Amino acid sequence: MRKILTGLAAGLMALAMVLPLQAKADEAKSLLDQILDRGTLRVGTTGDYPPYSELDPSNNTYKGYEIDVVTQLAADLGVKVEFVPTTWETLAAGIQAGKYDVAASGITLTLDRLKSIGFSAPYLDSPLVPLVQVEDGAKYAAWRDLDKQGIRIAVQSGTSAEESAKKNFTKAEIVPIVAPALDYQELLAGKVDAAITDTVFIKKALAQYSDKLVAVDPTHAIEGQPNAMMTVRGDYIWQNWLDTWIGMKAQSGFFDALFAKWIAGS
């Protein structure tokens, strides 16, 4: 009996030593290998930002430019795609906590965000511009004219538009708007003087409210907005595969076709 117990104890000790090593080996695996082993690409998306990512609550399915991007990405990886609901405020936290492999929702790559989170190569640019009510359009020749005491500017909370507005507008009051409310809805309601959003998203607002809203000098944007997928940082194997995929898809006209489908005609 003593021999059996001794052997069992030795076996347990050996197992205790192997398990941490196996865990470390799994941690050392590239995200690319983890995705392939799992057979699923997990995608964090907000579902509140057409034409990039929009949730249809009637059937709980997503559609949009970014949804088509990650669906094709999963297909080319040879895995299924799984959408994970997230918010603008928790996009990076979800990546860091391992809740999803990439986040795609019309997300802007910024130098500040790159300090703490990884990004793919960009594949779309949608510069930031301000919207004002039609009757106020003649007041502002350029976006800088809005930077005055007493001016209230709505921005979507947790987005790069909020970061940009706080950086570029030092006198005006920046008003963060939390989803599902939208920045331009606050403008329509007369609660703010302007709303800052990107030139792609702005198409929907202007098409729907062309008699009420107008863009301020849209040919001179506040800042460029390179859109990319958010992902883990420091995983060079996965980063190389992802960026190579984007480059090859760009050459094939994939992103041009998506632009025509979701943006040019919106």
The tens-digit pLDDT sequence of the chain (266 residues) is 444 334 434 444 444 554 454 444 455 799 999 999 999 999 999 999 889 999 999 999 999 999 999 999 999 999 999 999 999 999 999 999 999 999 999 999 988 899 999 999 999 988 899 999 999 999 999 999 999 999 999 999 988 889 899 999 999 999 999 988 989 999 999 999 999 988 887 777 788 898 999 999 988 999 888 999 999 999 999 999 999 999 999 999 999 999 999 987 65
Q: What is the rounded CA–CA span in Å between residue 85 and residue 167?
A: 29
Q: At what angle do helices 236-252 and 31-38 cross, to 10 degrees?
A: 80
Q: How far is CA 118 from the centre of its chain?
A: 12
CATH class of 29-123+226-264: alpha beta
Q: What is the CATH number of domain 128-215?
A: 3.40.190.10
| pLDDT for position 17 | 52
- Give long-range contacts, CB 8 A cutoff, 24+ apart: 173-179: 179/46, 179/48, 179/87, 179/88
Q: Does the predicted model carry a pTM greater than 0.85? A: no
CA distance linking residue 165 with residue 222, whole number of Å: 9
Residue 263: predicted pLDDT: 85
- And the tokens for 63? 């559609």
- CA–CA separation, 79 and 76 (whole Å): 8
Q: Is the Cβ–Cβ distance between 108 and 234 less than 8 Å?
A: no
**CA separation for the pair 205, 186 (Å, rounded):** 12
Strands 128-133 and 213-215: antiparallel
Encoded amino acid at 148, one letter:
K
| pLDDT at residue 224, rounded to an integer | 85
In contact, 122 and 227? CB cutoff 8 Å: yes
> pLDDT at position 225, please?
85
**Residue 27 confidence (pLDDT):** 57
Residues of the chain within CATH 3.40.190.10 domain(s) are: 29-123+226-264, 128-215
